[in-house]
Amino acid sequence: MSMNMPQKMQEEVEKRRTFAIISHPDAGKTTLTEKLLLFGGAIRLAGTVKGRKASKHATSDWMEIEKQRGISVTSSVMQFDYDGHRVNILDTPGHQDFSEDTYRTLTAADSAVMLIDSAKGVELQTKKLFQVCRKRGIPIFTFINKMDREGQNPFELLEELEQVLGIRSYPMNWPIGSGKQFRGVYDRQQTQVELFQGDDHKMIEVRKVSGYEDPLVKEIAGEFFYDQLIQDLELLDVAGDPFDYEKVQSGELTPVFFGSAINNFGVQTFLENFLELAPIPTPRRSTQGDIDPLSEQFSGYVFKIQANMNPAHRDRIAFLRICSGKFERGMSVKHVRPGKDIKLAQPQQFLAQDRDIVEEAYPGDIIGLFDPGIFRIGDTLCQGGNYEFDELPTFSPELFSKVTVKNALKHKQFQKGIDQLTEEGTIQVFRTIGFDDMILGVVGQLQFEVLEYRMKAEYGVEVQLQRMNFQFARWIVDKDVDPAKFRINSQLVKDKKNNFVVLFESEYAMRSAMDKNPTAQFLENAP
Ligand code: G4P
């Protein structure tokens, strides 16, 4: 007899781990992803993940802009099996030009892996992505990469996590030597020594020990590294945070692993520990309370819409995170916002950049739905219910451009395009008071480029963008806003819903405006 449904559901949910890797460009995200996929046997050649190195793009039909820039404009999803687990990695663009999509993708993850270059420490993009994860309170695992190079002192790196990000850490392992002298790690959890072997460091020797006082440690680590290692480990035991499972789950304590992705060193132990500690798909908040992933009724929400995967067909793919129940191809679900029933006929799954039709999927999985223009970011699909998942957060724009249409006769198409792209969540639109000029706000430069491209390709409109000096937008909650108060290094504008917003050129300008208007509230997002 086959397994009964609830038991099967439980097994499927419990084996899933859905996470995103957050890092600054060049920290080694592509390399780490390749290695993880290799362990799972998901791909034959590690190199295939690196689609951005030209050749792959020649055959793909992704946006022209992707080909030109050689980057992945929007993130995709990779899936592999390892040791009884089903792992979903949500890819977030590693390029500086990340966009709001990157942030939204993080909401579909149940945990995050923070990848840090040992020489560079915590960098800007990591910091931004970390803050989004922090707000959600998801567990964050840290992999300190490039230990085969001269990096910062490990204690300094931990200090930086605390100072810059405000998160406490627990080193799961500790490096023995570093740079050219990097010998391996001492695993504090498993009390074992893992050593690089051979010229190319490809062989790894693992020796179980009773603790770091074990004479065997000295023997294998070598006289030269031993004293330092013992000193460090003692200091960690005395002054470091104790391991606390609850704090890991609430994202207050990050387990830290040292390794070198390119040498495949520390990746496997990292993966195994991660799978052990990372959460299974968790209940998600909705307008009718928490939705249990084990519920038999299917539900999910759209966190990203990717346009123009095939420009010839102008099709879009809506990425759906499954939150509960089992997904089956062809099933009928309620599209809650418009209140319509729809049939999910052509669901797709993503392995690196290849698309496959998916027959069934479970909570934690991401599926791509063919979108003839009916979905919006944040939409809920569900069976047997009439609730919506908590709206996705919007992010405060940091880059601003005045936008005008080059050919005034095209004004109608221009407006249509802007409306559509705003609705998709691609850009935020503001109007100046009086002159009614249009200002666009985004979180990444790439969003402007995508806008220019799509306005031309899809609406036949050439736009002119003129960058403005503003860096911050704050929504003002104040009955009688006086525009005169916001003229120095700032400007008062209105958003689409006629809320007042002030754009500031600097943090200083923002602070002083707040000081001068103590009764007003300044919000990062629309109220
Ligand atoms: P990203 O996706 O985060 O941007 O980083 P990516 O994996 O592309 O890695 C950035 C560079 O860092 C690459 O070198 C990569 O080989 C190197 N790298 C990754 N992990 C390690 C490591 O553990 N140790 C050392 N020493 N280097 C590492 P590149 O020369 O820029 O690119 P490539 O030509 O090697 O692909």
* Of 285, 284, 170, the residue nearest 233 (C-alpha): 170
pLDDT tens for 275-299 read 999 999 999 999 999 999 999 999 9
Please identify, among 251, 277, 303, the residue that sits at the C-terminal boundary of a domain. 277
Judge whether 119 and 152 are in contact, CB under 8 Å: yes
The Cα 451–Cα 374 span in angstroms is 20
Q: Tell me, yes or no, whether 231 lies in a domain.
A: no
Query: Do residues 410 and 358 share a domain?
Result: no
Say whether 47 sits in a helix, a strand or coil. Answer: helix
Q: Is 298 exposed, middle or buried (0-12, 13-18, 19+ CB in 10 A)?
A: buried
Identify the CATH number of the domain in which residue 473 sits. 3.30.70.3280
Query: Do residues 430 and 374 share a domain?
Result: no
Q: Is 110 annotated as a binding residue?
A: no
Q: Tell me, yes or no, whether 35 lies in a domain.
A: yes
pLDDT confidence of residue 261: 92
Ligand 1: distance of its center to the CA of 262 in Å? 7
The C-alpha R_g of the chain, in whole angstroms, comes to 25
Task: Kindly report which listed range (74-78, 126-130, 140-144) carries the lowest average pLDDT score.
Answer: 74-78
The 3-state secondary structure of 71-119 reads CCCCCCEEEEEECCEEEEEECCCCCCCCCHHHHHHHHCCCEEEEEEECC
The Cα 507–Cα 513 span in angstroms is 10
Q: Tell me, yes or no, whether 223 lies in a domain.
A: no
Q: Give the single-character DSSP code of 426.
A: S
Judge whether 283 and 290 are in contact, CB under 8 Å: yes
* Of 341, 352, 349, the residue nearest 370 (C-alpha): 349
Mean pLDDT, all residues of the chain: 84
Judge whether 491 and 456 are in contact, CB under 8 Å: no
Q: Whose CA is nearest to atom 32 of ligand 1?
A: 26
Q: Tell me, yes or no, whether 388 lies in a domain.
A: no
Task: Kindly report which listed range (127-131, 443-447, 520-524) carries the lowest average pLDDT score.
Answer: 443-447
Identify the CATH number of the domain in which residue 362 sits. 3.40.50.300
Q: Whose CA is nearest to atom 31 of ligand 1?
A: 26
pLDDT tens for 456-481 read 988 999 999 999 999 999 999 876 77
* Of 98, 117, 86, the residue nearest 19 (C-alpha): 86
Helices (runs of H) and strands (runs of E) counted in the chain? 14, 31
Query: Do residues 419 and 498 share a domain?
Result: yes
Please identify, among 350, 382, 414, the residue that sits at the C-terminal boundary of a domain. 382
Q: Is 85 annotated as a binding residue?
A: no
The Cα 6–Cα 324 span in angstroms is 12
Q: Give the single-character DSSP code of 301.
A: E
Say whether 348 sits in a helix, a strand or coil. Answer: strand
Query: Do residues 464 and 341 share a domain?
Result: no
The whole-number average pLDDT for the span 211-227 is 84
Ligand 1: distance of its center to the CA of 85 in Å? 27
Q: Is 482 annotated as a binding residue?
A: no
Query: Do residues 349 and 415 share a domain?
Result: no
ipTM: 0.97
Percent of the chain scored above 70 by pLDDT? 86
Q: Tell me, yes or no, whether 116 lies in a domain.
A: yes
Q: Is 118 in the pocket of ligand 1 (CB under 6 A)?
A: no
Please identify, among 277, 300, 324, the residue that sits at the C-terminal boundary of a domain. 277
Longest dimension (CA), the chain: 82
- Quote the number of domains for the chain: 3
The whole-number average pLDDT for the span 406-411 is 90
Residue 356 confidence (pLDDT) above 60: no
Query: Do residues 168 and 305 share a domain?
Result: no
pLDDT tens for 249-272 read 999 999 999 999 998 888 988 999
Task: Kindly report which listed range (18-22, 92-96, 412-416) carries the lowest average pLDDT score.
Answer: 92-96
Q: Tell me, yes or no, whether 387 lies in a domain.
A: no
Q: Tell me, yes or no, whether 205 lies in a domain.
A: no
Query: Do residues 452 and 505 share a domain?
Result: yes
What does 168-194 look like in DSSP terms, one character per residue? Answer: EEEESEEEES-GGG--EEEETTTTEEE
Confidence of residue 71 (pLDDT cuts 50, 70, 90): very low
The Cα 376–Cα 78 span in angstroms is 23
Paired tokens of 322: 């499954």
What kind and span of H or E run contains 342? Answer: strand 340-343
Alpha-carbon separation of residue 241 from 158, 233, 288, 355 (angstroms)? 11, 12, 38, 44
The Cα 261–Cα 149 span in angstroms is 12
Q: Is 255 annotated as a binding residue?
A: no
The Cα 393–Cα 454 span in angstroms is 24
Q: Whose CA is nearest to atom 36 of ligand 1?
A: 31
The Cα 503–Cα 335 span in angstroms is 36
Query: Do residues 58 and 168 share a domain?
Result: yes
pLDDT tens for 297-320 read 999 999 988 765 555 555 677 889
Dihedral angle sign, alpha carbons of residues 61, 62, 68, 70:
negative
Query: Do residues 266 and 347 share a domain?
Result: no
Q: Tell me, yes or no, whether 198 lies in a domain.
A: no
* Of 289, 296, 287, the residue nearest 336 (C-alpha): 287
Q: Whose CA is nearest to atom 12 of ligand 1?
A: 28
CA neighbours within 13 Å on the CB side: how many for 311?
Answer: 14
The Cα 418–Cα 340 span in angstroms is 26
pLDDT confidence of residue 352: 37
Q: Whose CA is nearest to atom 34 of ligand 1?
A: 53
Domain of residue 374, residue span: 284-382
Q: Is 88 in the pocket of ligand 1 (CB under 6 A)?
A: no
Query: Do residues 42 and 161 share a domain?
Result: yes
Ligand 1: distance of its center to the CA of 117 in Å? 10
Query: Do residues 439 and 325 share a domain?
Result: no
Ligand 1: distance of its center to the CA of 428 in Å? 34
The Cα 40–Cα 18 span in angstroms is 14
Confidence of residue 53 (pLDDT cuts 50, 70, 90): very low
Q: Which atom of ligand 1 is nearest to the CA of 265?
A: 23
Paired tokens of 101: 């999509």
Paired tokens of 248: 């890991």
The Cα 430–Cα 452 span in angstroms is 17
Residue 180 confidence (pLDDT) above 90: no
Query: Do residues 29 and 121 share a domain?
Result: yes
The whole-number average pLDDT for the span 131-148 is 94
